[in-house]
Chain A
Amino acid sequence: MTARTEMKPSRAKGVAGSKSLFDRQILQAAIRGSFTKLDPRIQVKNPVMFVVYLGTMVTFVASIIHSSLFSWLVTVVLAFTVLFANFAEAMAEGRGKAQADTLRKTRTETEARKLLADGTTETRIRASDLQTGDLVVCEAGDVIPSDGEIVEGVASVDESAITGESAPVIREAGGDRSSVTGGTMVLSDRIVVKITATPGNSFLDRMISLVEGADRKKTPNEIALSILLVALTVIFVPVVVSLEYFAHFAHTGVAIVTLVALLVCLIPTTIGALLSAIGIAGMDRMVQKNVLAMSGRAVEAAGDVSTLLLDKTGTITFGNRMASRFVGVGGTTADELARAARLSSLADETPEGRSIVVLAKNEYGIRDTDSGTDFEFVPFSATTRMSGVNFKGSQIRKGAAEAIKRWVIEQGGDVPTEVDEITRDIANAGSTPLVVAQDQRVLGVIELKDVVKPGIKERFAELRKMGIRTVMITGDNPLTAAAIASEAGVDDYLAEATPERKLELIKEEQEGGKLVAMTGDGTNDAPALAQADVGVAMNSGTVAAKEAGNMVDLDSSPTKLIEIVEVGKQLLITRGALTTFSIANDLAKYFAIIPALFIAAYPQLKILNIMHLHSPITAILSAVIFNAIIIIILIPLALKGVKFRPAAASEIIRRNVFIYGVGGVIIPFIGIKIIDIILTVTRLY
């Protein structure tokens, strides 16, 4: 397993990722959608394409008045340009719609067992009639009727309907694991749930409308870009209209169909057609990562994030302390120590205990050799603060340094001074020392380490290259925190973190104009989640946390934040790249159309026909056809997003300017020439 795959758990199969990008069903629905979207009320929302729409009508009328093959062809190509734009948007919406349909099926009319005020009587009512504050009873096999908090009991719940994760989770009253989601199913036990969602506004309802994009609003950057596109459209209207008069002055005329064709070629139709698809696809990519973004604005903000607050446990470390080293004292070899430590831990089911057995096996090759029955295990207790084993008349104990030292002295033994030194060194390195003793003798010290996940350091280095600062949040003392921080390679850490200090830290970062992202699950995280620019609540977390954040991670994976940032960046890059490409395309179109327009007035202008296009008519047709086809060609790119590799901004821009800027200038020259050859060879003209 490589570091990278370790970081990205394989996609859950439930809600998200159920459909491939070009699913047959989606494709069919999108083709239908291309036509239903021809409604002018929908078209007018996209000003660039609306100009094409109106232009098509103009050429249609012109074709009827002065019918010619050329004018009809232009009309058809323009109509297809509009349809292709509709198709792009419909494709982007398609997968979300399909997912919403799947979700709707889970929202079948369930019955709720409402508990009446006396606290014992149950009545059956429809789930949709439940009000906030109602108490309902759920037992094994019941579908939880709506969102709520468990006020009584504990149960295992199957949340696969929402998260796609089939392993059941434990939900219990009180604490941060008390929230349940409507649509999930109780697998065992009985719980009483207090409903927190108003009718029609449950998490499932919101999720459906989110993946469907029903109330999708344009994001701030999308709006700004739309304005620029409108400006680039507005400018070409006088360019084209004035051309008519200029041409007249040169004693030549330009047909209205040709003018419309020129206008459509010049306005940024490529990005205009794909802009909304890019935005929808960005939201959809979040859903593919099992993240529900409450708004497109949050996805955009994710790209701008410059500080990530990461919880140590689960994100940076595995969360359990694990044995990493055996240090023998007073002549005891590490091997002997390992043997004794292993024996003392065989029955120890704590993660620490198991990790000792594993380390003894992996590092010292100690296996089950001395099996026997005369083992008497001494479990850990809060009073002795140690655990161990009695066998063959010998006692082995492991535990905190002070406890073991006292025990050894009580037994009449003495403690070598090096024990103190070793334990201090280990503690200074941010680890936990565990002292092992056999009867009157101290054998040595086990280093229990908070193990940093493999590959995480490289990941942080990548983030740093992208200009993102990582801050580790931990409840550990500063010493331990510093040690882990330096091992994991985070830029900063917040030790002995409390929700208040977390909130303070976020405000401090934001004060300097930085955007902050964090994850959280507890109710006490809610203020910080609300304050953060990107607040990702774990689906396993409390209702308060989920409401405070602007994203919900259905996987409840602490490393998700990094992927969220990447999706945000990818969205913005895709927008920028296609805008650049679209504008850069215009140069070639000019070289195709301008000589074609004026060759009659000034035959010598053929010198500008650098593509050597066959005739004025094929030149104009090639340009409009290219203009339409490029939309279709770029749909996959718009939906999947421009490839994003974490790197410094300077590197990313160099690559993208080369591909989409320089490429955007060159590609249409080639494309238009090829179309012209096809038109000529097929003798269409």
Chain B
Amino acid sequence: MAFVIEVALLVVVLGLIWRYLGAYLVAVYEGHLHFLDWIERPVLRLLGIQRDAEQSWKRYLRSLLVFSVVSLVITYLLLALQGHLPLNPEHLPGVTPALAFNTAVSFVTNTNWQNYSGGVTMSYLSQMVALAVQNFVSASVGVAVAIAVIRGFARKRSGTLGNFWIDTLRGIIYVLLPVSIVMTLVFVWQGAPQTLLGPAHIHNVLNGVHQTILRGPVASQEVIKQLGTNGGGFFNANSAHPFENPTGFTNFLQIVLLLSVPVALTYTFGKMVGNVREGVAVLMAMIILFAGTFAFSLAAEKGGNPAIRAAGITSTRGNMVGKESRFGVDNSVLFNIASTQTSTGSVNSSADSYTPIGGMGMLAGMMYDEISPGGIGSGMYTMLIFAVLTVFIGGLMVGRTPEYVKKKIQRTEIIWASVGVLVMPITVLVFTAITVAIPAGRAAILNHGPHGFSEILYAFTSMGNNNGSAFAGLSSNTAYFNIVGAIVMLIGRFGIIIPVLALAGSLAAKEEVPVSAGTFLTATPMFTGLLVGVILLVGALNFFPAVALGPIAEAVLHGRFF
């Protein structure tokens, strides 16, 4: 009952966020707000950017790539050289080159796949400057791309999509920073540490045990980790760690934070293209997919652990293996599903210990391309790719060449939309296949049989979707995994951003088509239904064979699905 109330509360809170944060984002990116001009102006002047300098999609993309490369280099250097840099109370050595590369890519691509254990590998400087900065900027870049794509739909006969530098800067100063500052205080109040004093050393005189308790600037990391759908935890245990996620309230807040911007962007989309209901139609598709996946995993986890059941032990609390008793099955599943469906990847329970079908729910959220509601910005733009494809197939069936929010979908759009949809599954499947085929890949697998396969499949699906959650059971801090993983993350990020910006550029240049009774209306349940159908079908067609050999095979070996 308490959980039902919690979910109801979540829906209400997210509804308000959808409406008001969505409208706020419109104001931020359309340049209606000026109260932070005193930050914005000097920064732009420093970068040499005119305040009204618009960019074509190619320039927008070039700026984005330049910025990402620079971010990558800086992050890499900070990590590799942390041993010589300040704010390193534990005197941690520099991060090894392969791991530093992997980690830099991971944070720049908003993946936050962690091949390291935060508390014992990263200095405070690395956490706060190298990683936390990327948590902000990679998130803001994601939103900027989403906004540019939305502008592509909203503008007509326009050669430009906005300005990458201005969009990214505004996202940080108007959205991510203010929310983070306020929420950090809430986390501190709830008990998350925020200190630069280094680990606490406790010597228990009574039993003579000496304890080292890792701590650091956790609270501030925590908020942006979720808000920016980053997911990289301060500690290895991520949000299962009591310092990262001290109470039931922070658990709720974390879920709200990670869903907020992706959800609100659907309102922004609707508002900017001139019909909020267009955004609602897309949001509904996200909700249906989210709710379905959540119900699917929850049913599996409630059903209990087949291995324990086989041992003759009955449990009424479902599968509690790998879950915090503070959160229980309901809140663990809700957290993990929300996190895997938003490309956040933070977890409050061990994904590896979920039942095969419960784990498949998390996997599925990523396999249908992180769109329900998806990562910050990336969920929105990926969803729009699917919307374009849906309209192309469905729209033909009304007897007109297809159009979406008044824009004709033609050859160029289909080329880029196809590329955008193909990149992720091809990358995931090819690299999973390579990894299971070669010794360097197979060596990392701790479990064999279908579970071992699931672990690899999960790892590459997670990296390819810039999610970052891990199934564990994989010793992935090897040169092979660090380098191949980095490649997969780069393709997963830029392999979609490039085509989606090209798509937006082509759309922006187009004339609007007036809506008539002959138009396939997209602000309708029919469109939502078709969109969900296309997403599920594309996801299922791409991954059904792989899933059959992983989680499904594992589940049927135990004799049942749920």
Contact = CB atoms under 8 A, between A and B. Distances in A.
Contacts of B433: 238, 241-242, 244-246
Contacts of B559: 604
Contacts of B392: 224-225, 228
A685 interface: no
B436 interface: yes
Interface in B379-401: 389, 392-401
A513 B553 contact: no
B96 interface: no
In the A-B complex, the 6 residue pairs with the smallest Cβ-Cβ separation, listed nearest first, are A467-B518, A576-B396, A569-B399, A467-B516, A231-B418, A467-B517
A234 B422 contact: yes
B511 interface: yes
A604 B409 contact: no
Which of B411, B426, B520, B540 has the largest count of A CB atoms less than 10 A from its CB?
Answer: B411
B208 interface: no
B526 A248 contact: no
Contacts, number: 210
B552 A608 contact: yes
Contacts of A586: 537, 541
Interface string B421-452: 11001100110111011000000000001101
A238 B426 contact: yes
Which of B400, B425, B429, B537 has the largest count of A CB atoms less than 10 A from its CB?
Answer: B400
B453 A249 contact: yes
B399 A250 contact: no
Q: Which of under 10, 10 to 19, 20 to 34, or 35 or more describes the interface residues of B?
A: 35 or more
B553 A598 contact: yes
Contacts of A12: none
B521 interface: yes
Interface in A577-615: 577, 579-580, 583-584, 586-587, 590, 594-595, 597-598, 601-602, 604-605, 607-608
A247 B549 contact: yes
B549 A572 contact: no
Contact of A250 (B394, B513, B521, B553): B553
A468 B518 contact: yes
A242 B430 CA distance: 6
Q: Which of under 10, 10 to 19, 20 to 34, or 35 or more describes the interface residues of A?
A: 35 or more
Nearest to B456: A249
A266 interface: yes
Given A238-B426, A249-B453, A266-B541, A227 B415 contact: yes
B436 A570 contact: no
Nearest to B534: A583
Given A235-B425, A241-B433, A583 B549 contact: no
Contact of A513 (B436, B512, B520, B529): B512
A221 B401 contact: yes
A553 interface: no
A574 to B, nearest CB: 9
Given A249-B437, A303-B400, 17 more contacts: A221-B410, A228-B418, A235-B426, A236-B541, A242-B433, A245-B437, A247-B549, A306-B514, A467-B517, A468-B516, A573-B397, A595-B548, A601-B553, A648-B517, A653-B394, A656-B398, A657-B397
Interface in A467-524: 467-469, 512-514
A580 B397 contact: yes
B541 A649 contact: no
B557 A602 contact: yes
Contacts of B410: 220-221, 224
Contacts of B393: 228, 576, 579-580, 583
Contacts of B513: 513-514
A650 interface: yes
Contact of B399 (A573, A583, A584): A573
Nearest to B431: A242
Interface in A96-124: none
Contacts of B426: 234-235, 238
A652 B397 contact: yes
10 contacts: A224-B413, A227-B411, A239-B425, A250-B450, A572-B400, A577-B396, A580-B393, A583-B537, A584-B537, A661-B530
Which of A220, A513, A569, A580 has the largest count of B CB atoms less than 10 A from its CB?
Answer: A513
Contacts of B529: 657
Given A238-B425, A239-B542, A248-B437, A573 B398 contact: yes
A304 B401 contact: yes
Which of B398, B517, B556, B559 has the largest count of A CB atoms less than 10 A from its CB?
Answer: B398
Contact of A246 (B395, B398, B419, B549): B549
Contacts of A227: 411, 414-415, 418
Interface string A648-674: 111011101100110000000000000
A239 B541 contact: yes
Main SS of the interface on chain B? helix
Interface in B82-105: none
Given A231-B421, A661-B533, A243 B540 contact: no
Interface string A562-578: 00000011101101110
A300 interface: yes
A324 B394 CA distance: 49
Interface string A174-197: 000000000000000000000000
A571 to B, nearest CB: 8
A228 B526 contact: no
B399 A568 contact: yes
A250 B530 CA distance: 35
A595 B552 CA distance: 11
B529 to A, nearest CB: 8
A530 interface: no
A604 B556 contact: yes
A303 B520 CA distance: 13
B399 A242 contact: no
Contacts of A583: 393, 537
A569 B546 CA distance: 40
A441 interface: no
B524 interface: yes
B42 interface: no
B526 A587 contact: no
Contact of B546 (A242, A572, A577, A607): A242
A650 B526 contact: yes
Contact of A594 (B397, B418, B422, B545): B545
B544 interface: yes
Nearest to A571: B399
Nearest to A568: B399
A569 B429 contact: no
Interface in A347-396: none
A572 B401 contact: yes
B477 interface: no
A644 B518 CA distance: 13
Given A224-B414, A586-B537, A586-B541, A466 B518 contact: yes
B519 interface: yes
Contact of B537 (A244, A513, A587): A587
A76 interface: no
A560 interface: no
A223 interface: yes
Contacts of B429: 238-239, 242
B413 to A, nearest CB: 8
Contacts of A247: 549
B163 to A, nearest CB: 27
Contacts of B557: 602, 604
B519 to A, nearest CB: 6
Contacts of A250: 449-450, 453, 549, 553
A230 B381 CA distance: 23
A241 B542 CA distance: 12
A465 interface: yes
A171 interface: no
A243 B545 contact: yes
Interface in B446-488: 449-450, 452-453
Nearest to B442: A249
Contacts of A449: none
Nearest to A244: B433
